[in-house]
């Protein structure tokens, strides 16, 4: 199997580092998997920016026009609220899809790491969320190196001691619900006002 020369961090000559060709192939596949996971995260950030812009513009337009329009038809407020809920639901579903995709990618990365001398992502995850607290889907016990598990439970970095790690995705998925609540409050305000 020919390995492309671009992006090499080290020589591909097997004897240059005392590695055989199969180890080099595993390292290259590992690098590709990590880059693909990073690209999914970048696409998620772009999608979040898009939905945040849409929601902000939508709520801003609704708020500005409501102040000047008092004789709106009775069906308009529920339709506008439904549109806001639909945008929030689409955003939340897309975030869930990205989460599932990244979870699968990191399971593959963790599996490949078992063939490498160090386990960067598995060890990092073990430090953030010890294996006993992590969900089985997030980290398999085989994927966490024994040294990382001991380090995570014994000492851990000073910044993590006594703190509970909250995944970015967990807080990120609450934002669409906040916008849905804002749409509901606007509907309530229109109905009472």
pLDDT along the chain (193 residues), means of 10: 50 56 87 93 93 91 68 76 92 93 92 88 81 46 43 49 68 89 84 72
The two tokens of residue 125 are: 């995850």
In a domain, 12, yes or no: no
* pLDDT score at 149: 42
Which pLDDT score is estimated for 85?
Answer: 93
Residue 7 lies in a domain: no
| Cα of 91 vs its chain's centroid, Å | 13
Nearest Cα to 119, choosing from 158, 77, 148? 148
Could you tell me if residue 70 is inside a domain?
A: yes
CA-closest candidate to residue 74, choices 186, 163, 190 = 190
**What value, to the nearest 5°, has the Cα angle with vertex 31 and ends 26 and 33?**
90
Q: Is residue 63, in this structure, part of any structural domain at all?
A: yes
Q: Which tokens in the block code for residue 105?
A: 């990618």
What pLDDT is stored for residue 140 in this prediction? 42
Q: Torsions phi, psi of 20, nearest 5?
A: -90, 170
Number of structural domains in the chain: 1
Question: 13 lies in a domain?
Answer: no
3 lies in some domain: no
Q: What is the pLDDT of residue 159?
A: 55
With respect to residue 105, please indicate whether it lies within any of the assigned structural domains: yes
Structure tokens at 193: 């006002």
CB environment 42-68: b (16+ within 10 A), e (fewer) = eebeebbeebeeebeebbeebeeebee
Of 183, 46, 27, residue with least CA distance to 120: 27
CA 171/CA 131 separation, integer angstroms = 21
Residue 2 domain-assigned? no
Distance of CA 129 to the CA centre of its chain: 16
**Parent domain of 46:** 19-192
Q: What is the pLDDT of residue 109?
A: 92
């Amino acid at each position: 199997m020919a390995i492309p020369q671009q992006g090499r961090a080290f020589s591909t000559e097997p004897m240059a580092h005392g590695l055989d060709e199969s180890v080099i192939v595993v390292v290259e596949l590992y690098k590709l998997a990590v880059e693909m996971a990073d690209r999914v995260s970048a696409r998620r950030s772009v999608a979040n920016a898009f939905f945040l812009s849409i929601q902000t513009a939508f709520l801003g337009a609704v708020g500005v026009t409501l102040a000047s329009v008092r004789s709106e038809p009775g069906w308009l407020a529920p339709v506008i609220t439904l549109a806001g809920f639909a945008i929030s639901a689409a955003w939340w579903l897309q975030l869930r899809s990205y989460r599932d995709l990244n979870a699968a990618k990191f399971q593959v990365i963790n599996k490949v790491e078992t063939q490498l001398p160090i386990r960067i992502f598995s060890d990092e995850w073990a430090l953030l969320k010890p294996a006993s607290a992590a969900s089985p889907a997030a980290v398999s016990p085989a994927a966490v190196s024994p040294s990382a598990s001991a380090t995570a439970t014994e000492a851990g970095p000073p910044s993590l001691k006594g703190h509970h790690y909250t995944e970015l995705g967990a807080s990120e998925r609450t934002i669409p619900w906040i916008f849905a609540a804002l749409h509901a409050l606007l509907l309530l305000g229109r109905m009472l006002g």
